[in-house]
Amino acid sequence: MTRASTDPAVTPAAPRWGLGDAIAGWTIAQVAAQLFGALILAAAGYTVQEAADGDLPLSVTALFYPPLWIGFVGVPVWAAATKGRGWIEDFRVRLKAVDVPLGVVCGLAAQWVLVPLVSLPVLWLSGKDFDELAEPARELGDKATTPGGVVLLIVLVVIGAPIAEELFFRGLLLRALEKRFDTTVAVIVSSVVFGITHFQALQFPALTAAGVVFALLVVRTDRLGPAIVAHMAFNAATVSVLVWGGS
């Protein structure tokens, strides 16, 4: 006679990771970025002021991404492996065929429609313009002066960053907040933290709004795939304009 599926002996245990792991992941990402960033600058022969002024070549700038991913990727994977059922299952890292067009449409709409709408009142109140809004992205795009640089920019910004950030913000952080609060709070707070984490005051409202779009995709589909694709499309729209559309 087989056991009933409700038998506690065969019922998978609920994941034990939570908000503390998300806070630890965010903190580790920032500390690692600062520590390894200082070592990278020293080894490459650049000063902190040169880094702040955007005078680093893309090859050096690229080295600042992996330290962040120690927290954004390493902690969710570790937390799910030691306290859950694995990161694929716990964070719904799944992708269906329909997620590709869905994500592309949502990502492009967020970049080309939502960002301007959200940014307009911010620019009006601050006395800034769209050129200043795009300045951080333009500074990064201007570093891709060779075909190899363009490929590196795409790998970092269009592929690497969306995967790492979605795994953390819409994977670990969103799900941890859902366990403590309700879905609405989880969507809002995870999106605000996503916006804050970029440390760009002028871009904060637009990034937070984009985070809401990505979070809603995860909530509505119960899959991380649509949000990853949307985030890739969102970043790709900017990169394509900067690299091939002129400034």
Number of other residues whose CB lies within 10 A of the CB of residue 98: 12
Find out whether 87 and 198 touch, Cβ atoms under 8 Å.
Answer: no
Cα separation, 66 vs 64, in Å, equals 6
Looking at the predicted structure, is the pLDDT value of residue 8 above 60? no
Q: What's the mean pLDDT in 170-174? A: 98
Cα separation, 148 vs 62, in Å, equals 12
Q: What is the model's pLDDT at position 121? A: 95
Q: What's the mean pLDDT in 122-131? A: 93
pLDDT band at 182 (very low <50, low <70, confident <90, very high): very high
How far is it between the farthest Cα atoms of the chain? 74
Q: What's the mean pLDDT in 83-93? A: 97
Nearest alpha-carbon partner for 76 in 125, 40, 22, 119: 22
Q: What's the mean pLDDT in 133-150? A: 91
Q: What is the model's pLDDT at position 67? A: 95
Looking at the predicted structure, is the pLDDT value of residue 205 above 60? yes
Residue 124 corresponds to which tokens in the numbers above? Answer: 């009006």
Q: pLDDT tens, 16-35?
A: 999 999 999 999 999 999 99
Residue 125 corresponds to which tokens in the numbers above? Answer: 């109140």
Cα separation, 204 vs 194, in Å, equals 9
Q: What's the mean pLDDT in 52-72? A: 93
Find out whether 159 and 232 touch, Cβ atoms under 8 Å.
Answer: yes
Q: What is the model's pLDDT at position 23? A: 98
Q: How many residues does the chain have?
A: 247
Q: What's the mean pLDDT in 103-131? A: 96
